[in-house]
Amino acid sequence: MDDAILVINAGSSSVKFAVAEAGDHAVTTLVKGKLTRLDQAPHFTATTDAGEVVADTFWEPTGGRQEILFGKLVDWLDHHLDGHTLLAAGHRVVHGGTRFTAPVVVTPRVLDDLADLIPLAPLHQPHNLEAIRAMAAAHPHLPQVACFDTAFHAGHSDAAMRFALPRALHEDGVRRYGFHGLSYEFIARQMARVAPDLARGRVVVAHLGNGASLCAMFNGRSVDSTMGFTALDGLPMGTRTGSIDAGVILYLLDQGMGHETLQHLLYEQSGLLGLSGGIGSDMRTLLGSGRLEAAQAVDYFVYRTVRDIGAMAACLGGLDGLVFTAGIGERSAEIRARIGRGCAWLGIDIDPVANARGTGCISGAMSRAAAWVIPTDEEQMIALHAIEALKTAASDDRISKEEFFHV
């Protein structure tokens, strides 16, 4: 019987999952799906890796009780994963703080430590941890592994990690962590396979999706990232501001804007949505709209991305390659071409034919720095981590095996 890993990515209003068959050095996705409308009648959908829909159904309302939802999910998997046994659940956890710089098998102690980090990521961490607790209740004997979005960036230099604030705040955790780490780690891994010379060099990876950031990598390791203390920093995103002068926040507070409103403004109403005057947060909508505000939103996105690629290249002391990934990076030839033109001074010369094809190397033969499109797969990275963490934990006598199961 083959082993499989259940991957969970739990958010405030939806839970995404994937099941990956566990091989020795690679994993293959068997099925992917999501649960939405968690506090109403949950909508459960699942497709095979080939895109065949294998579930599209509404479940009885559970009043948001996730242990019931996860129980139903495990039950569904029991009936749909012929010949596979679940070995573990791997969870995407947004914040590992300074302590968790690698994936970890969850024990009650680990869970308590992760809960201490909730103030650092109040919009995401509670949902990630709730999913771990719910899964423990639904399937008490399934080991769980937490994989962190921050971990890949843990090796940043002191200067890259700091804000110019009094040192005590840094010690209290007010520092630049960086996010999208599971995506960047997957890209680093893929690069080592498809472009090993480039992987050893100075590369800027552009993760351009609804959430967007850049990572400066040298020899497959993160040197700096545009995201900092939270996933609000850096590039403009679908609905998030990206970098903003902190003085604007002080001004809005002075004007009487409350915390909730401000949070909603910065996370939900800004970015492409705000810039376009409400036309949309989706790049496809903006590219397809003939309106000036949509064009200005796209211009701003390209402008800031080019500007920050320059900053990341400066951190690296030059640029050997630029890698595009995530929804916009993988699928929009137009945005890639525009960003590429903005980076001509860094030696990027994108070949229009290769760019239209949209996979692999897209730079021309004369390009001084390479440009690539590499699809990301955070679920695969989590599954690989879960397998690795289980192996490590199994050989660590200090961890009682009982501990895995009683979260």
Q: For binding to ligand ADP (CB under 6 A), which residues are involved?
A: 209-211, 238, 282-284, 287, 326-328, 331-332
Residues 6+ apart with CB under 8 A from 127: 10, 11, 12
Residue 16 is labelled as binding a ligand? yes
Measured from the CB atom, the residue of 263 and 285 that comes closer to ligand ADP is 285
Give the shortest CB-334-to-ligand ADP separation in angstroms: 7
To the question of whether residue 201 is assigned a binding role by annotation, the answer is no
Stated as kind and residue range, the H or E segment containing 303 is: helix 292-316
**Known binder of ligand: residue 207?**
yes
Q: Which of 2/282 has CB closer to ligand ADP?
A: 282
Instruction: Name every residue whose Cβ is closer than 8 Å to that of residue 182 and which is 6 or more positions away in sequence.
Output: 92, 147, 148, 149, 152, 378, 381, 382, 385
8 A C-beta contact, residue 226 and residue 237:
no
Q: Look at residue 194 and give its three-state secondary structure.
A: helix
* 176 versus 331: smaller Cβ distance to ligand ADP: 331
The answer to the question of whether 237 is labelled as a binding residue is no
Residue 284 assigned to a binding site: yes
378 is in an annotated binding site: yes
Pairing, β 212-218 against β 321-325: unpaired
Q: How far apart are CA 259 and CA 253, in angstroms?
A: 8
Q: CA 16 from chain center: how many Å?
A: 13
Task: Name the minimum Å distance from CB 228 to ligand ADP.
Answer: 18
Q: Which is nearer to ligand ADP, 107 or 376 (CB)?
A: 376
Least separation in angstroms between CB 284 and ligand ADP: 4
Q: To the nearest whole angstrom, how small is the minimum distance from the Cβ of residue 282 to ligand ADP?
A: 4
Least separation in angstroms between CB 383 and ligand ADP = 17
Q: Which residue in the shown chain puts its C-beta closest to ligand ADP?
A: 327
Closer to ligand ADP by CB, 37 or 200: give it.
37
Q: Could you give the CA distance from residue 174 to residue 277 in angstroms, rounded to a whole number?
A: 33
Q: Provide the Cα torsion 390, 77, 93, 263; round to 10°.
A: 180
Q: Give all strands of the β-sheet with 360-361 in edge-to-edge order.
A: 221-225, 212-218, 202-208, 321-325, 370-373, 360-361
What residues are annotated to the active site? 149
Binding-site annotation: residue ranges for Mg(2+)? 9, 378
- Binding positions: 9, 16, 92, 207-211, 282-284, 378
The binding site for substrate consists of 92
